[in-house]
Each structure stands twice: as C-alpha cells, then as structure tokens.
Structure 1
Amino acid sequence: MSSGTSHDHASTLPPLTAGPHRKRLGFVALIATFGGLLFGYDTGVINGALIPMSEELGLSSFTEGIATSSLIFAAAVGAMLGGRLSDGWGRRKTIILLAVLFFVGTVVVVVTPGLWVLVAGRILLGLAVGGASTVVPVFLAELAPYEIRGSLAGRNELMIVTGQLVAFVVNAIIGNLFGHIDGVWRIMFAICAIPAIALFIGMLRVPESPRWLVDKGRHGEALAVLKTVRSAERAEAEIGDLEQVVAVEDSRQQLGWRAVFSNKNLVKILLIGIGIGVAQQLTGINSIMYFGQTVLIESGFDRSAALIANVAPGVIAVIGAFIALAMMDRVDRRKTFIIGLTLTTTCHLLIGLASMLLPDGNPMRPWVILFLVVAFVGSMQTFLNVAVWVYLSEIFPLHMRGFGMGVAVFVLWVTNGFLSLYFLSLVDAVGINGTFFLFAIVGALALAFVWRFVPETRGRTLEALEEDVTTGAIYLR
C-alpha cells in the first residue's frame, strides 16, 4: 500500500527497471536487515545458553526469568526511543548506534561475573533489539519503491526468524561439541559480535533514507540517494512525489495522546492495535523461542537431544515466514488472524493433553510434544507473526501513526517481558499441561476479540483506511 500522493501518481511514475541500481537497493536492504538478524539471534540465543548459564551463576527459575526478560523490557523502551531518535537524528546514524549497542551489550554479557552485570548487558542488548524493531522496517519502507515495499520491508521479519534459527543451530553445535567446557554459554553469546560488526561496517557504506532527507529540507541529497537505487528518470519523478507528500504531512499536525483520546474512533483503533499485539504475545510464541530447550527437557528429551530438537521450531519459523510473505497480499488480514489463532489454540490444547495423557518415561511423549510445538510455531509464523506487524503498520491514520505504533509495540514488548519473567515459574507451579491449557484459554479469548472487533484493511489505500478509521465507518463494513 502506498500513501496518497505516490498512489495518485503511481500510473505516471516511470516503471521499475533492472540495472545496477536494483542490485544496490538489494545490498542496502541486506545490510539494514542485519539489524533484524541481531534481533533474532539475541532473543533466541538464551534458549540454549540458559541452562549452563544458570548452573554457573547459580540462578533460580525466577532469576532465570529476570535474566531473560530484562532484554525484553529494555526492548519496549528501545522501541519507543529508537523511533524518536531516528526522526531527529536520521535512520542511518541511529542504526549505526544500534550496532555499537549490540556489540557493547554482547561484550558485557560474555565477561559477566554474576547476575547483575549479566542483566546490565541484557538491558543494553534489549535497547538495541527494541530500536532495531522500529527503525529498520521504517528505513526499508522509506527506501523501497511502492511496488515492492511489502516484500522489501517484510524481509526484516524473515531475518529475525533466521537469526533465531542461527542461534538454535549454533547453540546445538557448541553445546554438543563443547558442552563439557565451563562457560560454554559465553561462547554462544560471543558469536553475536560478528553480525554486530558487519552491521556497523555495512551501514557506513549505506545512504540515509531519502524520505527523511526531504523531511529535513535536504532535497539535493535525497535526489542523489534516490539515483543510486532507482533509474535516473524514476528518481526525478519520485523526488517530486516525496516533496508533495512531505508538504501534505507538514500541513497536518502530528497528534499526541490528548488529541487521540478526544476522538472515540481513534481510541478504538488504538485499543484494537494494542489488543492485536497482546494477543500475538499471549499465544506464548516467545516462551517457546526463549525456553524451548527447557520445555523439551520437561517433555522427556535429555539435554543434548533437546538442543538439537530445538532447531526444528527454528526451521519451521523460517519456512512459515516465506509462506506468510507470499500470502500477505492475497488473503484477508481478518481471515489470516482467525485461522492462525484457531490453529495455535488447538496446538496448545493438544500439547496440554499430550503431557497429561502420556506419562513421564513414555518413549512417545517427547516426540509427540516436539511435533506439536513445531506445528504451533509453524501456525504462528505463517498466519500471525508477519500479519500482525503488517496490520500494525497500516491501521493508524498518518497523523497518529508514530504515536499509535509506538504505544502498540511498547505494550506488545511489555506483555512479552512479563511472560518471559514468569513462564518458568508457571511451568514449575502447574507443569507443562497446566501452562498450555492456560494458553489455550487465552487463545480462545483472543479469537473472540478478533472475530468481534478487528476490522479488515487489505486491498485499500492508506488514505481510504484513514478516512474510515477517523469517522468510524471502518467498523460498519
């Protein structure tokens, strides 16, 4: 979907052509999505590192929760700060700063003598992860031609799950080859320094967002950047469009929370955005991504087998992301959410039943639970993860988009943080079956919420959506 002016001019813009500029655009996108790769690796690495780390540092279930969730709560703050910083300072400079944060956070975690230095390092990594979760997609969307914006911006989600998969594979290799070495978990974390350095060096060779440059009145620089990633005639035509879009936006005041809360339709769309983000997190997807090894050990795998088995959900997540990207512009958002929540809730029920009906020691138990966990992650990634991020980027009217997206993503991260903090304590208290039955109940409530309140957005321009959201007409369709 494109914003109004470029949509109106879409037919008059020269078509996209092949050539060195297309390769250059691909290179820039690849470098920027290293931010997504780091996001994935840093959130996934704890999965295999947690048990040896806990043994060395003497952590309980609750302090394991603190070590894991400190990154997530910091990411909530990073998501808010990153967007603000990149508006004032530039997308490119902000991503370079995030690369430095990723590196410094990694070093602090690797050399930590105890829990609290570890938490400090995880907080630095969390600020970087949160910043990357908002700034990288914006940078990609602003650099992409409108025809391929969805697939270019969607590459970031693909890189996030690829980063998680890389973390699971690296953990399995290091854990099984060097598991006897004290501090093996430090090696798992240290690997993260490599993409951080690549992101830093790569971003030094990447241009600033032309959209941001025009916004700051630097039109000559913006045209020079566009000419590196478009044909010359397309760049000239697009710069005119950009100048018009920015002029229109300047004439519309950005809405803060007071203005939003004075229009009940804007309040409603904000609550729907928050609800979708919370529903996505309360499926428990990230509990599997962070604590998958622990869940698999609980279900009956031994430690090294659990590390290897853990790679399967990572593989299915990447496959699901590819399918989701292909499906994004063909299937209604509501239908996607309803299918996804139905499947994930069914998987939760079946995991709970399997762990109840197959007693400890039954040779089938670990394999049945692994199969169901893989089915759950596949359903989640194919129908919910990518769709939720796309939906959040399109439902808010332009003049409250920064505020709306910031609030929804902040609440999403905080929900994720509380779940990470208490998940292991919950498994200790009520077992795998109790935990997954709880997820199933929450999933059924989320399904009812989507069915009743969530409006459709696919196949419409952002301006038409904006009009309908502001007047409330979107709820009557």
Structure 2
Amino acid sequence: MDVSKDTAQAPIPATAVPDDASPTVKRRLRVITLIATFGGLLFGYDTGVINGALPYMTEDLGLTPFTEGMVTSSLLLGAALGAVTGGRLSDGRGRRRTILVLAVVFFIGALGCTLAPNTAIMVVARFVLGLAVGGASVTVPVYLAEVSPAERRGALVTRNELMIVSGQLLAFTSNAIIARVGDESGGIWRWMLVIATIPAVVLWFGMLVMPESPRWLASQSRFGEALEVLKQVRSRQRAEAELAEVSSLAVKDEQEKLGGWQDMKSTPWVRKLMFVGFGIAIVQQITGVNTIMYYGTQILTDAGFAADSALTANIANGVISVLATFVGIWLLGRVARRPMLMAGQMGTTAALLLIGVFSLTLPSGDGRAYAVLAMTVTFLAFQQGAISPVTWLMLSEIFPMRMRGFGMGVAAVVLWLTNFVIGLVFPSLVDGIGISNTFFLFVVAGLFSLAFVKRYVPETKGRTLETLEAELKARFS
C-alpha cells in the first residue's frame, strides 16, 4: 500500500466503509478485548481487596487511623507514578509490550503484599502494586480504543470498566468467603491478597500472543505491520480505508512533533485539551467513589451492621457495580457521552446527600444500616453505570495519536493523586467531623463537577479517533 500517495489527499473516512468482517475476524477482536481487560480485572481486585482485608490487617500489623490511610493510599500514590510512566512507555515501546511489563509488576506487587511482615513493607509493596494499577488504567483503555472500530469503540473500551468492577466484586466475595472459612484465625488477609497473582499470570501469557496496536505501529511509520493487524480485526476493505486515515494523521502528527511535555506546553490546543482531561479525571474521583470501594465495610459497620454482616452486605456494592456497568455499556451505544456523564453526576450527588442525612438523623440500628446500604448501592449504580465508563472512555479518545498514551497518563496522574488525597484523609475526616459532614463535602464537590462538565467537556461519540482529533484541534485552537 502506497502511504505517501494516500496521504497526499484527504482519505475517505473509515466509518463510511462498512465493516462486513467474517465471524473469525470478529472472534479475534473479542479475544483481544478479553485478554487485555485482565489488566482491568487486576486493577479492580487490587483496589477492592483492601476493603475486607484492612480490618484483619489492622489487628495483625497494629495499624492506626493514619497508617490505615497510608496502607490504602500508598497504592494510589504508586498508581499516579505508574500512570505517567506507563503512558510514556506505551507511546515509546508499544501498548502490548507495556502490558506485558505491567503483568510482571502486578505479580511482584501482589506477592509482596501477601508476604509483608510489617507496615513499612506493606506500604512499599502496595506502592509497587500501584505502579501496575496506574499503568494498566492508562494502557489498557488506549490499547482497546486503538484496536476497536469507531462504531464499537464505546462498548469495547468500557469492557475494561466491566472487568474493573468484576475484579472488585471478586475481591468482596472472596473476602467474605475467606473471612467465614478462616473465622478469626490470624493472617487470613494474606489469603485475600494472594489471589491477585493468578490473573497476573493469565494476563502475561495471554498478551504474548496478542497483536500490537495498529495505531501505535502507524505512529512509528510501520504501516505494513499496522495493516496486517487491522486485517486481523476488520474486513480487508475497512482495514485499508482505516489505515489510509490513520497514516494520513500520523504524517501530520510527525510534522507537528506531537509527543511529550515540550509539545504540550508549546501547542496551545493540546494544552487546553490537557486541562479538559485533568477536569474529567478529577470529576470522576471527587464523587468519593473510592471511599465506598476502600472503606465500604467500615461505613456499613458505622451505620449499624456487625463486622461479618458488613462484609457480606458489601458484596451488594460489588454486584450493583457489575450490573450498572452492563447498563452503562448498553447506554454508550445509544446515548451521547456528555449527557450521560452529567446524569451520573446528578445521581451520585443526590445519593451522597442522602447518606449524610440518614447517618445524621436516623437512630443507630437496622433501619439506618439498610438505609445507608440502599444509598451506597444507588450511588454506585450512577457511578459505575455512567461516570466511570464515560471517564475512562473519553480519556482514551480525546488526545492526539502520537501522544495518546502520554496524554492519558498525565490525566491519570491527576486522577490517581486526587484518589490518593481522598483515600489518605477520609479516615481522619470521619474521625474528626463525622461521616455525615464528610459526605456533605463530597456533595459540594459534586455540584462544582456538574458545572465543569456542562461548560467544558466535549462530545466524542460517533467519530473515528482521527476525525475527533481534527474536531478538537479546530475547537481548541
């Protein structure tokens, strides 16, 4: 295929060419999606497992409220570094190779947490695990976005979100089972943590036989290899049309030298787009979602559940997260991204307000316990059914091709640092001002988030990544 000839004129949009791929080709795309999203499963399990392990760990390691926050949030600090490092690595060395490296880091981090003899080692091991979580949060969605056809990108990228919440549900369920089987025996939290090594092994072996992202290959001027990968997941006609569009943009990006910090600072439209990405990342976190993911058991215990009952009841949070993500995937094929994000923001803010009100006004007992549980479930339905899938999808879409990994990585740093601060201060806030006032703070943050989305966030549905890049460049120039 003569790329120079194709790039001399505007290529036909790939979406104008029907993708009548064979069943074998469609099956190949499903397998690629499944294997890559084991990175999301590990993301979910490693962030969710602390929810049930922490009470037992607190007793064995002698944790204080501050060191509880450190154990929880050290993963998030590692994720911030892992996001930007993973983004740069995936832009420079390839999405597939980066995911292989991350699988090894997941394994080492999970094993380190399992064997940690004291708090200091646990904090370090959780930080290492965070490097993998942050890298996967960036690299897997970008890989899926670049492999997916435009009309299926929303559904396929958000499969990663489905695997994240499935990993959290697996963590909540295994925590409850291990706690009941192990009863009060010492060290049962180690069994909760070691399970994460299994999907890490599956991810590594699976990615050995997966292809590289065709758009990354094109960004390296490896157009022949990019076409061969596209033929694995598209009809031949669609693959050739898509390569013409991708290669045309790759040449333009090469001429503009888009790719890193210096380019971001010297290119006004890219700089503005980065700030939009930062805003989307912060919006997802200041709902307070991870206070429920990390401290859900404690929240339910405070509301009136016994410790074992809280572990079991917390499974409801995992179940609703998975079901809501299925609904979110269905909606993304039918509803625009921006209104969906706003609807999710309104729902989570209302649920948080009611959690605060119920905790403040209802007497301790079953009534308050089940009222709070109902609102946490409602909160997660809006969060996991709208806000989270749209966030990760949009962050994988909005950045230019040559700096997509880097751009998403920097935005994810903001996301994980916001997550880190919230995870670190939440136990102290609850201890200092009470759970009701803590959730009222999240309500105020939710109102500011809604205003930001309404004013600044662009719509991305229904465009190829190349068409979207041209539109955003025109909008922000």
What TM-score do you get using the length of structure 1 for normalisation?
Answer: 0.91
1:324 alignment counterpart = 328
Q: Structure 1 CA distance, aligned partners of 2:237 and 2:337?
A: 35
Q: Provide Cα deviations, 1:134-181, integer angstroms capped at 9, x if missing partner.
A: 111122222223332221222111111111111111111111111322
What is the Cα deviation at residue 444 of structure 1?
Answer: 1.9
Amino acid at match of 1:318: V
Q: Provide Cα deviations, 1:280-314, integer angstroms capped at 9, x if missing partner.
A: 21110011001100111111111110001001111
2:280 alignment counterpart = 276
Contact 2:151 2:462 in 1 (8 A): no
Q: Structure 1 CA distance, aligned partners of 2:57 and 2:21?
A: 52
Contact 1:273 1:392 in 2 (8 A): yes
Q: Following superposition of structure 1 onto structure 2, how do residues 293-372 of structure 1 map, counting pairs within 5 Å?
A: 293-360=297-364, 362-372=365-375
Picking from 377, 381, 385, the partner of 1:382 is 385
Q: Provide Cα deviations, 1:200-224, integer angstroms capped at 9, x if missing partner.
A: 1111222222333333344444444
Structure 2 unaligned segments of length 5 or more: list them.
Answer: 1-8
Amino acid at match of 1:149: R
Q: Structure 2 CA distance, aligned partners of 1:319 and 1:167?
A: 16
Contact 1:340 1:380 in 2 (8 A): yes
Q: Structure 2 CA distance, aligned partners of 1:214 and 1:333?
A: 27
What is the Cα deviation at residue 267 of structure 1?
Answer: 4.5
What is the Cα deviation at residue 339 of structure 1?
Answer: 1.9
What is the Cα deviation at residue 320 of structure 1?
Answer: 1.3
Q: Structure 2 CA distance, aligned partners of 1:264 and 1:236?
A: 33
Q: Structure 1 CA distance, aligned partners of 2:185 and 2:416?
A: 34
Picking from 160, 166, 176, the partner of 1:162 is 166
Q: Following superposition of structure 1 onto structure 2, how do residues 190-209 of structure 1 map, counting pairs within 5 Å?
A: 190-209=194-213
Q: Do structure 1's residue 50 and structure 2's residue 54 form an aligned pair?
A: yes
Q: Do structure 1's residue 417 and structure 2's residue 427 form an aligned pair?
A: no
1:27 alignment counterpart = 31
Deviates more, 1:418-427 or 1:399-408: 399-408
Q: Following superposition of structure 1 onto structure 2, how do residues 223-234 of structure 1 map, counting pairs within 5 Å?
A: 223-232=227-236, 234=238
Q: Structure 2 CA distance, aligned partners of 1:24 and 1:456?
A: 30
What is the Cα deviation at residue 59 of structure 1?
Answer: 0.3
Q: Structure 2 CA distance, aligned partners of 1:33 and 1:311?
A: 22
C-alpha change, 1:268 and 1:321, in structure 2 (3 Å) is: same
1:444 alignment counterpart = 447
Amino acid at match of 2:392: W
Picking from 393, 396, 406, the partner of 2:396 is 393
Contact 1:260 1:400 in 2 (8 A): no
SS in 2 for 1:310: helix
Q: Structure 1 CA distance, aligned partners of 2:476 and 2:197?
A: 49
SS in 2 for 1:208: coil
Q: Provide Cα deviations, 1:84-117, integer angstroms capped at 9, x if missing partner.
A: 1122222222111111111111111111110111
Q: Do structure 1's residue 153 and structure 2's residue 173 form an aligned pair?
A: no
Picking from 15, 20, 33, the partner of 1:10 is 15
Q: Structure 2 CA distance, aligned partners of 1:70 and 1:463?
A: 37
Q: Following superposition of structure 1 onto structure 2, how do residues 56-95 of structure 1 map, counting pairs within 5 Å?
A: 56-95=60-99
Q: Structure 2 CA distance, aligned partners of 1:451 and 1:102?
A: 37
Q: Structure 1 CA distance, aligned partners of 2:328 and 2:10?
A: 28
C-alpha change, 1:68 and 1:149, in structure 2 (3 Å) is: same
Q: Following superposition of structure 1 onto structure 2, how do residues 242-281 of structure 1 map, counting pairs within 5 Å?
A: 242-254=246-258, 256-257=260-261, 260-261=264-265, 266-281=270-285
C-alpha change, 1:438 and 1:30, in structure 2 (3 Å) is: same
SS in 1 for 2:206: helix
What is the Cα deviation at residue 17 of structure 1?
Answer: 2.1
Q: Structure 2 CA distance, aligned partners of 1:188 and 1:384?
A: 28
Deviates more, 1:72-81 or 1:251-260: 251-260
SS in 1 for 2:15: coil
Amino acid at match of 1:448: A
Amino acid at match of 1:345: T
C-alpha change, 1:146 and 1:332, in structure 2 (3 Å) is: closer
1:40 alignment counterpart = 44
Contact 2:87 2:408 in 1 (8 A): no
What is the Cα deviation at residue 464 of structure 1?
Answer: 6.2
Contact 2:83 2:409 in 1 (8 A): yes
Deviates more, 1:176-185 or 1:241-250: 241-250
Q: Structure 1 CA distance, aligned partners of 2:246 and 2:472?
A: 24
Q: Structure 2 CA distance, aligned partners of 1:456 and 1:217?
A: 30
Q: Structure 2 CA distance, aligned partners of 1:452 and 1:225?
A: 39
Contact 1:397 1:469 in 2 (8 A): no
Q: Structure 1 CA distance, aligned partners of 2:260 and 2:242?
A: 30
Deviates more, 1:134-143 or 1:162-171: 134-143
C-alpha change, 1:333 and 1:29, in structure 2 (3 Å) is: closer
Q: Structure 2 CA distance, aligned partners of 1:275 and 1:152?
A: 24
Q: Aligned-pair RMSD on alpha carbons?
A: 2.5
Deviates more, 1:38-47 or 1:21-30: 21-30
Q: Structure 1 CA distance, aligned partners of 2:240 and 2:337?
A: 35
Q: Structure 1 CA distance, aligned partners of 2:237 and 2:453?
A: 45
Q: Structure 2 CA distance, aligned partners of 1:259 and 1:85?
A: 17
C-alpha change, 1:334 and 1:94, in structure 2 (3 Å) is: closer
Contact 1:78 1:130 in 2 (8 A): yes
Amino acid at match of 2:29: L
C-alpha change, 1:174 and 1:329, in structure 2 (3 Å) is: same
What is the Cα deviation at residue 7 of structure 1?
Answer: 6.2
Q: Do structure 1's residue 101 and structure 2's residue 142 form an aligned pair?
A: no
What is the Cα deviation at residue 265 of structure 1?
Answer: 5.6
SS in 2 for 1:59: coil
Q: Structure 1 CA distance, aligned partners of 2:292 and 2:329?
A: 22
What TM-score do you get using the length of structure 2 for normalisation?
Answer: 0.91
C-alpha change, 1:234 and 1:263, in structure 2 (3 Å) is: closer
Amino acid at match of 2:325: A
Deviates more, 1:55-64 or 1:426-435: 426-435
Contact 2:87 2:406 in 1 (8 A): no
SS in 2 for 1:129: helix
Structure 1 unaligned segments of length 5 or more: list them.
Answer: none
Amino acid at match of 1:377: L
Q: Structure 1 CA distance, aligned partners of 2:213 and 2:51?
A: 35
